[in-house]
Amino acid sequence: MKIEGIILRELHLPLVRPFETSFGVTRNRRILLAEIQSEGLTGWGECTAGEHPYFSGESTDSAWQVLLHELGPMLAAESPEHGGDCPRIFRKVRGNRMAKATLENAIWDLEAQREGVPLAHLLGGVRDRVACGVSIGIQSGIPELLSIVEKELAAGYRRIKLKCKPGWDVEVFENVRSRWPGIQLSCDANSAYRLRDADHLVSFDAFDLLMIEQPLWYDDFYYHSMLQKRLNTAICLDESIRNRRDALAAAEMESCKIINIKLGRVGGFSEAIAVHNAAQERGIPVWCGGMLESGVGRSHNIALSTLPNFTLPGDVSASARYWQEDIIEPEVTVSPEGEIEVPDSPGRGFEVRSDLIERLTVRKEAIPALALA
């Protein structure tokens, strides 16, 4: 397909409530979108980088620079036929996987539209509904947390994930577990612990957690494998898994028993599928993580979650948990059974609200026309 235009935009979108993790609080999202025009169609991609390079080394600003000066011109100089051509096109650029995913995912969206099939089908998806969980940030106190958990369970969500850190863990789990003994409960530390905390982490076994997500260093496999030997609870790796090779290494070393797949973190749909397949071959279930996405990224997460080895509820939840008004139509809703219905229209299956996007845009830049000539 001939690339006729690539437009980058930054939108400012306030969250309906602050989201606190072990690495900080997010109140306002700076959403970076790429819009790619080709042969009368428009594909959309979202960059999941944070406002600061705290989750990964990328940030909204670093991704903007790399997209504008490196990846955008590289893509514009080619005519990719498939989303799967992007990793080769971007091969020279090391890292910057969230920036790469922004463009690659927009090409997959375009390809699905061109073929007239739902994005989920193009990816090899097998489900028409996906199971949803929620990720609940660190709160000011336990009563506040309990009322949020109560509300999310009433809404139908099938798994509650609690963000944790030293000082916001065991007491919190005790309170939630004693009130709801049977629910699927997990926690996510975002690398807040060290190996010297191993005895403390072993005490989490008492709460029958579905998993402990990324307890140790963001780039580690080895110490997680040492910790996993001591735990009954499954470790789930998020930050550590950058690609298929990492998934294979983690499986080989038994660093985890579950993998969280995030499109941005692994560099786009191609690598996400590769991680999914590698995990499936080794009997490791996966689920789709979230990065406080707007509707564009959320629609891509829904499509990804239809692959067969996504057997655990993901962090893909309703638009209204994040935004007063989402930038897609219809917005993402979750049924009382805790499921999202996968759209069956061509492409991502949700329209973008162009007027609202224009109104929220604070920065807009086209990939220089020279590169597109």
Q: Which residues bind ligand OSB (CB under 6 A)?
A: 21, 55, 135, 188, 190, 238, 289-292, 315, 317
Q: Can 151 be counted among the known catalytic residues? A: no
What does the block give as tokens for 373?
């000539």
Q: Which of 264, 249, 198, 258 is nearest to 219 (CA)?
A: 249
Q: Which of 20, 238, 271, 339 binds Mg ion (CB under 5 A)?
A: 238
User: Distance between terminal CA atoms of the chain?
Assistant: 14
Minimum CB–partner distance for residue 25 and Mg ion (Å): 16
What does the block give as tokens for 76?
């514009």
Q: Is 20 in the site for Mg ion (CB under 5 A)?
A: no
Q: Is 111 in the site for Mg ion (CB under 5 A)?
A: no
Minimum CB–partner distance for residue 76 and ligand OSB (Å): 30
Q: Can 161 be counted among the known catalytic residues? A: no
Kindly state the helix (H) or strand (E) to which residue 88 belongs, with its residue range: helix 86-89
Q: Is 315 in the site for Mg ion (CB under 5 A)?
A: no
HSE value, Cβ hemisphere, 13 Å, CA-based, for 232: 7
Count of positions on this chain that bind Mg ion (CB under 5 A) = 3
Q: In what order do the strands lie in the sheet with 5-21?
A: 41-47, 24-38, 5-21, 361-366
**Binding piece for Mg ion, criterion CB under 5 A, among 66-74, 109-117, 166-174, 213-221:** 213-221
Numbers of helices and strands, H then E, in the chain: 15, 15
User: How is 119-187 classified by DSSP, letter by letter?
Assistant: HHHHHT---SEEEB-EEE---SSHHHHHHHHHHHHHHT-SEEEEE-BTTBSHHHHHHHHHH-TTSEEEE
Which one of Mg ion, ligand OSB, none is in contact with 292 (Cβ closer than 5 to 8 A by kind)? ligand OSB
Q: Is 188 in the site for Mg ion (CB under 5 A)?
A: yes
Give the residue with the Cβ less far from Mg ion, 214 or 306: 214
Minimum CB–partner distance for residue 213 and Mg ion (Å): 5
Taking residues 87 to 106 in sequence order and writing x for each that binds Mg ion by CB under 5 A, - otherwise, the string is: --------------------
Catalytic residue among 100, 161, 163, 165: 163
User: How is 2-29 classified by DSSP, letter by letter?
Assistant: ---EEEEEEEEEEEEEEEEETTEEEEEE
Active site residues: 163, 262
Residues that bind Mg ion (CB under 5 A): 188, 213, 238
